[in-house]
Structures are given as structure tokens and as C-alpha cells.
Structure 1
Amino acid sequence: MTEEARLRELICELTKSLFDRGLTHGSTGNISARTADGGLLVSPTGTSLGRLDPAQLSRFDARGRHVSGDQPTKEMPLHSAFYDTRSQAGAVVHLHCCHAVAWSMMPDVDEDDFLPPLTPYAIMQLGRVKLLPFFRPGDPAIGDAVRGLAGKRSAVMLANHGPVVAGKDVEAACNAIEELEASARLAVLTCGCRPRLLRKEQVRDIVTTFNVEWEA
């Protein structure tokens, strides 16, 4: 099996796991991953992440031309913005997971630091998550908003829509977006209960120890 064939299989295996555990639903969500030659494999438009076919993934060459497979997700401007501004990005995942979307609707959420510091794991895997305003799905302005961050965030939350995470590879990106949803679930469950947050010095220690990207 070639390296690209393995990547195609891995994309479909991971997205089915995300779908089967309810992190996205119906035909929502999309994923992309860098190939060894600098191209991209992308989930097709209108498809379920639980039923992706490795052979039908959209294939782009290193110059950004669609060369084979089905038509890609309409969120390509979003994916392209992460690859263009984060040279280390090897994959991008966008889901419509319920708790993250619910938390994005709360009136007092910090736009520059979407997730409260409840556990160390979101800090370690995501850094600070930026809450972006609502955009129509597929709007090229989403890509412009990501480009406006100049590559300083690996994860954003699209208000009333869903999270987007870039990772060094497809497994890292999927793990990180799962952590985002788990952390948002904790935030929703503890909302109004005055939970004990990690102290600023504890957050700083995590950032330093694990060499976390941390935009002030």
C-alpha cells in the first residue's frame, strides 16, 4: 500500500470514529490532510464523515488544482487559510459538535480565549482558541478571518457553527478537536456553578513545560 493510500484509509477511519461517537452528524463537518508531494486530500462536499470512501476523496496537487476525486467541501477557503498561514499544518478538521457550538452562544465567552482553563489538556493540545463571529457556511470571509490571525492560532471556533483545528498531521488534528469538544462540554456542564479554574501561574507552567503556542 502506498503512503497516500494509507493516508486515505486513515482519514476515513478517523472520521468514521468521530461520526460514530456523535462529534458531528449528517453530512456536516469536513477534513483535509497534506500529501507527501505537497497536495491535499479533502472530504467531498455533501458527504457524511461517517461514510467517506477513500477512492472518492478530493485530490489537489501542490499548486492547489483539483485533479481527481469528487468535488471538495465548500469550506475550502477555510482550509486553505490555515495551510497558507501555518506552514507546519499537516491537516485541518472542522466539526459541528454540540457542546462547542452551545458554548459559542454563551454571552460572556472570552473571544480571545474561548475555553476556560478547566484542565491542562486543552491548553496543551490547542493553545488559546479564538472565537470568530458568525459567517454563512462556505463564505470566503471565513478564510479571510483566519488569515487575519496571521498563523498565531491552531484552533478557532466559528460562532453558532463549529470548531476548526489545524494539526501537524491528521491524527493530531482529530485528537485536538476532540479535546476542544470535551473541554467545551465541561464548560457547559459547570456553567453557573463557579468551578475552580486553573490559576494563571498553573497555566503559565503548562505553557512553558509543554512549549505551547500561547498568544497573549
Structure 2
Amino acid sequence: MSTESELREEICDTGKSLYARGYCVGSAGNISARLEDGWLITPTDACLGRLDPAAVAKVSSAGEWVSGDRPSKTLALHRRIYENNAQAQAVVHSHATALVALTLAGCWREEAILPPITPYQVMKVGRIPLIPYRRPGAAEVADEVAALAAQVRGVMLERLGPVIWDTSVSKASFAMEELEETARLWLQVQPRPAPLSEAAIRELETIFNVRW
């Protein structure tokens, strides 16, 4: 298991990479990681491209602000994910352009914002449901996401962006990036591509031990 110092560095490195490649802009987005005695989370209104490891907020298991700058206003959402999925070790939230555009144009289905059109989408991300729009930080959103936390690897907040969780900060970031690229493909290709067949999806699930 990574040390707290290593997790702080990984959060900052990931934020810098996402910002440099346009997956987040300004002070949008946040990243967190689980600790044995609580969580680390990026500060409120912080630019992910300019994070300081020492300024990353530490929060106790009871939700108390321990050190660093003031925690992101989405802390309650991150906390509920960790409480409802023991496998989740990190959460990444961005305002990825293609995914937000997808919610504006119209998602495929509420239970799956995109059809399964590529094998890596199935293998690395899985089915991502849509959470209807609420204002940023709304308590109802945390409740809705918590109810899904053990069933999927992430959700899409309508008009806001994806929230993805995984066993590390890097893996959560990679899954978010795969989802964003899939949304970009879906929006660019005309006519819309057909989903993978049920047989193809079952094969991926069996061979790679994944779940669509």
C-alpha cells in the first residue's frame, strides 16, 4: 500500500497530467485517495495543474479536516463512495469536455450513457449511469451515487462531468480518460456505430474478468 507521501505525489502528478492534456480546466475537478485513517482530497477551487503535495487536504475517518488547505466541496460525495465500496481506493472527478457535451446532446440511456462500442471501454470502464442534474455539492447527488458505488466503476453527473473510482488514483484517471475518448468517438462518428454484440461482450467479461 502506498504511503501518505506517495499518495500526495500521485494526486499532484495525476492532476498535472490531466490539466496539461485538457481533461480539466481552471479550478474544475478534484481527486481523492483513501488512507488507513481517513482520506486525502484536493483543496476547494484548486487548479489540478498546480497542486502542492503539502496543500492537499487530509480528512479524518470522521470527516474532520486535519491538515492542508480546505477540502473540496465534493468531499461528501467522495466519502460516500468510499463508505459504500470497500474496493475503491481513489476517486477522480473532472469536467471532461466530450462527456459534458454528451449530456447536453443526449446520452444513450440513463443506465448507460454510452453503448459498448469498443472492447477497452468494456474492459477498463464498464457501464456508466447518468445522475440527473443537481447543483454542485448537492447532498442528493451523494446519496444517489452512494447507492450505485458497489455496482459500477463510476457515474456521469449531468452537465458537470464524470466521477470515477478504482483501486488507485492512476487507474481511476486512466478509466476516466478511456470514457472521455469513447464519448469523443461516439459524438464524432456518423452514423452512430453499432454496439458490440452480446456474444462479444460476454467473451470480454469471461476472459478478462470484467463486468459490463
Q: In the alignment, what sits opposite 2:18?
A: 18
1:16-48 deviations in whole A, cap 9, x for unaligned? 00000000100000010012x242110000110
**For structure 1, which runs of at least 5 residues remain unmatched after alignment?**
none
1:104-123 deviations in whole A, cap 9, x for unaligned? 12335211111221111111
Q: Is the 8 A contact 1:42 1:57 kept in 2?
A: yes
**Deviation for aligned residue 1:186:** 0.7
Question: CA, structure 1 residues 99+172, in 2 after alignment: closer, same or farther (shift >3 Å)?
Answer: same
**Deviation for aligned residue 1:197:** 2.7
Find the residue that maps to 1:102 and give its secondary structure.
helix
Question: CA, structure 1 residues 58+108, in 2 after alignment: closer, same or farther (shift >3 Å)?
Answer: closer
Q: In the alignment, what sits opposite 2:49?
A: 50
Give, as a single letter, the amino acid of the residue that structure 2 aligns with 1:210.
F
**Deviation for aligned residue 1:153:** 1.4
Q: Is the 8 A contact 1:77 1:142 kept in 2?
A: no
Q: In the alignment, what sits opposite 1:164?
A: 163
Q: What TM-score results when the alignment is normalised by the length of structure 1?
A: 0.93
Q: Residues of 2 paired with 1:183 and 1:99: CA distance?
A: 9
Q: Residues of 1 paired with 2:192 and 2:181: CA distance?
A: 18
Alignment of 1:1-216 (within 5 A): 3-35=3-35, 37-107=36-106, 109-149=108-148, 151-190=150-189, 192-214=190-212
Q: Residues of 1 paired with 2:158 and 2:199: CA distance?
A: 29
**Deviation for aligned residue 1:203:** 1.1
Q: Residues of 1 paired with 2:178 and 2:8: CA distance?
A: 23
**For structure 2, which runs of at least 5 residues remain unmatched after alignment?**
none
Find the residue that maps to 1:99 and give its secondary structure.
helix
Give, as a single letter, the amino acid of the residue that structure 2 aligns with 1:23.
Y
**Deviation for aligned residue 1:134:** 0.4
**Deviation for aligned residue 1:150:** 5.4
Q: Residues of 1 paired with 2:87 and 2:28: CA distance?
A: 26
Give, as a single letter, the amino acid of the residue that structure 2 aligns with 1:183.
T
Q: Is the 8 A contact 2:117 2:195 kept in 1?
A: yes
Q: Residues of 1 paired with 2:125 and 2:131: CA distance?
A: 16
Find the residue that maps to 1:13 and give its secondary structure.
helix
Give, as a single letter, the amino acid of the residue that structure 2 aligns with 1:142.
V
Find the residue that maps to 1:41 and give its secondary structure.
strand
RMSD across aligned positions (CA): 1.5
Give, as a single letter, the amino acid of the residue that structure 2 aligns with 1:199.
S
Q: Residues of 1 paired with 2:51 and 2:208: CA distance?
A: 34
**Deviation for aligned residue 1:147:** 1.9
Q: Residues of 2 paired with 1:116 and 1:154: CA distance?
A: 16
Percent identity, please.
44
Q: Residues of 2 paired with 1:211 and 1:85: CA distance?
A: 22
Give, as a single letter, the amino acid of the residue that structure 2 aligns with 1:200.
E
Q: Is the 8 A contact 1:157 1:163 kept in 2?
A: yes
Q: What TM-score results when the alignment is normalised by the length of structure 2?
A: 0.94
Find the residue that maps to 1:11 and give its secondary structure.
helix
